[in-house]
Amino acid sequence: MSVDDEILRGLYEHTLRGHAAEVRALTEQGIARGIPPLDLLFRGLLPALQEVGRRFELREYFVPEMLVSAKALQGALALLRPLLAETGATPTGKIVMATVKGDLHDIGKNLCNIMLEGAGFTVVDLGTNVPAEAVVAAVREHRPPLVGFSAFLTTTMSMFKVNLDALARAGLRDQVRVLVGGAPVTPEFARAIGADGYAPDANSTVRLARQLLAEVRPEVETAPEGALP
Amino acid sequence: MGRMTSKARFLAALAGQPVDRPPAASIVSVATYELMDLAGPHFPEANVEPEPMATLAAAAHERLGFDSVMPIFSIAQEAVALGCEVDWSESTMMPNPATHPWADRSAPIRLPDGFPDAFLEDTYVRCAVEAIRLLKRHFGDRVMILGKVMGPWTLSYHLYDVQEFLYDTLMDPDRVRRSLDTLQAVPLVFAKAQLEAGADAIVWADHATGDLVRNTMYRDFLLPYHQALVPQVPAPVILHCCGPTLDRIQFFREAGFAAFHFESQVPPAAALAETQGKLRLAGNINNPVTLFARGPAEVRAEAQRAIDAGIHIIAPECAVPLQTPLRNLREIVQTCEANRTR
């Protein structure tokens, strides 16, 4: 195994285990050796994050394991982001993300953001407790093809519909595909309120975002998982 | 069997004894906009003033027929008294902690000066205790009056921030244990104050849920605290934990709780089997789909399924969405009534 391959392998293993210091050191080492940033991202870091997501779906990993891996990845992304910008790689697509009004929980949304960003999406994160007017304003400003809403409470998930209605009133509903998710949310609930898709976790969110993006922009060829954008 | 009072029915169910019909319960919150319109008080005053709080809680029995009343609609009383900032002014949402004093890693993990006296004197803590006192005066021994506390795990989410806390369960477990150690006194003090004011049992919310952590994390971190704390509460204690929890009932049943209030993600019969007769069960009518979006027929079917499975106390799975139609909440009570023994 070449030194470069060892670095990529190390990035995978240490991201999977959430070893932030090692991931950062290996990323620095890879950059210094001239490994292309896209290789560090798509051959080392993201396959690890996809594996973390897969283990989460299988309930082998839980939120703490996802958090430590995501934090390790963020350290590497901070180093890679400026270099990736220089390569001129086209982002997969843009998505506005928000936790609905009345809900201050952001853990699920943050994990989705990290996975989406890792998969090449540009994420506009509006934060938590976001009123529908702010979502409408963000859609007007950023013109994303996708909007994602998160709610962690059974008492706040009804705000999805408030947001969908606000987008419709603003004449923007047809311009975006809307994803919803959060601990109490079900596919049936998502259908009932008129969302375009439901994702139970961060990994599924990336898959759903790719699928909905392909619907709304068939001319844009979206990269398959693990491939270069 | 003769007709039981609501309180006698609830207590009997909690003890696994025969009942004239299954109790229908408000365990966490059945406050809704429609109920506020009927009863008079709305949020935010029903969250911050004892009389409106007690009046809205009483409506769960007087307007809907539930066997229990629960005045503490939110989860934020303790958090604000311990230093979290909470916006109590909203009329359309439940108050939640917005800041987390221990999220700053340089912040010392300790209770505010003057605990427990200053804690018990806090406006929002006192409001909850006073509301219970008013309910006791109003209902006497006719209706089951429930109090509610947050356990040390959920309080850690509030003081420490959920994300930081969960991260530290792997990366700094000693700090997690310091947090649990420090916070363990809070639910005991608050529970005892509520019981002295007239609560008949305590709902103990501790969200070591399968949505967030593996079951062994409950066993290794939280179970020892529950085993030490719950016996010190001089009344039945009902554990509330959201989400998928089937894999941890095996540990809950060893903690000393009288009952476990569980969600619809857990099949009732499977939950019951897991208790091995050591815990009574309360729940588990689905909120977001059945109670919020469907009609009485679906509520009736789901409540009947829970009764048929042997669930002891029939209740919504968690705090109901504020827009939940009252006809659906009433249907829970009517289904329990339809199961009265002849």
Please say whether the beta carbons of B187 and B229 come within 8 A.
Answer: yes
CATH homologous superfamily of A3-87 equals: Methionine synthase domain (1.10.1240.10)
Residues of chain A with CATH 3.40.50.280: 93-216
Of B167, B212, B293, the CB nearest to A68: B167
Per-residue confidence band for A228, with pLDDT thresholds at 50, 70 and 90: very low
* Chain mean position to CA B128: 14
Q: What pLDDT sits at residue B94? A: 85
ipTM: 0.91
- How much is the average pLDDT of A86-101? 84
Q: What pLDDT sits at residue B302? A: 97
Q: What pLDDT sits at residue A218? A: 57
Q: Which residues contact B43 (CB under 8 A, 6 or more apart)?
A: B31, B36, B73, B90, B91, B92, B93, B94, B322
Q: What pLDDT sits at residue A50? A: 84
Best residue in A19, A61, A62 for a mutation probing chain B (most B CBs within 10 Å):
A62
Least confident of A3-7, A125-129, A181-185, B67-71: A181-185
Handedness of CA B153, B154, B155, B158 (dihedral sign): positive
Query: Token match 């009483």: residue?
Result: B58
Residues of chain A with CATH 1.10.1240.10: 3-87
Per-residue confidence band for A88, with pLDDT thresholds at 50, 70 and 90: low
* C-alpha–C-alpha distance, residues B67 and B60, integer Å: 8
State whether CATH 3.50.50.60 applies to domain A93-216: no
Q: Do B90 and A157 touch (CB under 8 A)?
A: no
How many interchain CB pairs under 8 A, A with B?
88
Q: Do A154 and B287 touch (CB under 8 A)?
A: yes
**pTM greater than the 0.90 cutoff:** no
Res A101 pLDDT > 80: yes
Q: What pLDDT sits at residue A227? A: 36
Name the average pLDDT for chain A: 88
Catalogue the E-assigned strands of chain B.
68-69, 144-150, 201-205, 237-240, 259-261, 280-285, 313-316
- How much is the average pLDDT of A51-65? 90
Res A90 pLDDT > 80: no
Percent residues over pLDDT 70 in chain A: 94
Q: What pLDDT sits at residue A104? A: 76
Please write the tens of the pLDDT for every residue from A150-193. 998 877 888 999 999 999 999 999 999 999 998 888 898 899 89
pLDDT tens sequence for chain B (342 residues)? 789 999 999 999 999 999 999 999 999 999 999 999 999 999 999 999 999 999 999 999 999 999 999 999 999 999 999 999 998 988 888 888 989 999 998 999 999 999 999 999 999 999 999 999 999 999 999 999 999 999 999 999 999 999 899 999 999 999 999 999 999 999 999 999 999 999 999 999 999 999 899 999 999 999 999 999 999 999 999 999 999 999 999 999 999 999 999 999 999 999 999 999 999 999 999 998 899 989 999 999 999 999 999 999 999 999 999 999 999 999 999 999 999 986
Q: What pLDDT sits at residue A222? A: 44
Please say whether the beta carbons of A44 and A7 come within 8 A.
Answer: yes
Report the side by side order of strands in the sheet with A197-198: A121-125, A93-99, A146-150, A177-181, A197-198
Domains of chain B in start order, with CATH, are 6-338 (3.20.20.210)
Of A64, A71, A185, the CB nearest to B288: A185
Question: Residue B90: its chain A contacts at CB < 8 A?
Answer: 102
Residue A87 contacts B where some CB pair is shorter than 8 Å: no
Of A62, A158, A183, the CB nearest to B321: A158
